[in-house]
Amino acid sequence: MSMDSDDLNDLAAEYVLGTLAGAERVAFEARLQRDPAAMRAVARWASHLQPLADAQPPMIPPPHLWQRIERELGLPSRSKMRTPMWIAAAVAAALIIVAFLIPDLMFRPTVNSVAQLAPQGGQPAFVVSVLDDQKKLLIRAANVSAVPNQSYELWAVPPAGAAPVSLGVIAPTGETEREVAENVRGLLTIGATLAVSLEPEGGSPTGTPTTVMFAGTLTPPTE
């Protein structure tokens, strides 16, 4: 009995140390599967010698090692799921961008000029873009508030003191798109002045600006 347990202890010790090799090692490993005494002896020696392992300085393994382990085990772990989902999200985002970009690129209007209409010394209240060879205007309300029972009206102001030409009533919020009458297009050149007046609701009753609030000059688009 004592001899047996001594033998077992020796075997377990050399197994844990690693000097038990070849057929002896294979045989002992087989015994370890079914012999609780052998398991206990190995567990004891593993604990005894653990400080030798602890004495080694740790080294950080490369990040891909964990992925290799997951892959080999076929674990559909979160980080594994994350990659395809991330890719799918990226692809979807790319598709959405392309879907918006293609029409945008194909139908993007040509911007001829831009004017920032501001009060004297103030921030722009409206930004007006002249598009498609002066056929269209895009008016963006930037920093302006609606006035009850009043309307804002946009004007082209010709040089040399000619009378301003109405480009219509514009909304104080959001964007207004406006077709430009053929006879007015010639006024919307670089350097021309645009103005916005405050009018009674519905627009100027006289055909000339009542109170000019904001003004600016058409300049080439920055892009």
Partner 1 sequence: MTDFDTSSKSERRCAELIANRDDEFNDRLAAAKSGLTVRDTDRMLIACQGGDREAFSGLYRLTSPQLFGLAFRILRRRDWAEEAVQECFVTIWRRAKDYRPDLGPALPWITVILRNKCLDRLRREKPLQPLDESAAAERPDEGPSPLEGALAADDARRLKGCVDQLDEDQRKSILLAYYEGLTHEQLAARLAAPLGTVKSWVRRGLQRLKRCLES
Spatial CA neighbour of 114 closest among 138, 92, 93 = 138
Q: Please pick, from the candidates 5, 21, 90, 99, the single residue that binds partner 1 as defined by CB under 8 A.
A: 21
Residue among 122, 135, 131, 134 nearest 196 (CA): 122
Q: Is the separation of the CB atoms in 154 and 164 below 8 Å? A: no
User: Which of 3, 59, 106, 160 is in the footprint of partner 1 by CB under 8 A?
Assistant: 59
Q: In the chain, what is the straight-line distance between the N-terminal and C-terminal CA atoms, in Å?
A: 94
Position 39 contacts partner 1 (CB under 8 A): yes
CB of 89 to partner 1, least distance (A): 23
Contact 170, 154 (CB under 8 A): yes
Is residue 175 close enough to count as binding partner 1 by CB under 8 A? Answer: no
Residues 133/184, Cβ–Cβ less than 8 Å: no
89 Cβ neighbours under 8 A, 6+ residues apart:
none
Q: Is 8 in the site for partner 1 (CB under 8 A)?
A: no
* Residue 47 sits in the site that holds partner 1 (CB under 8 A): yes
Is residue 43 within the footprint of partner 1 (CB under 8 A)? yes
Stretch that binds partner 1, among 35-43, 120-128, 188-196, 211-219 (CB under 8 A): 35-43
Question: According to CB under 8 A, which one of 31, 35, 49, 150 is a site residue for partner 1?
Answer: 49
* In contact, 214 and 125? CB cutoff 8 Å: yes
Least distance CB 72 / partner 1 (angstroms): 5
Segment near partner 1 (CB under 8 A), from 68-76, 84-92, 103-111, 133-141?
68-76
Cα separation, 14 vs 220, whole angstroms: 87
User: What residues make contact with partner 1 under the rule CB under 8 A?
Assistant: 9-10, 13-14, 16-19, 21, 39-40, 42-62, 65-66, 68-69, 72-73, 75, 77
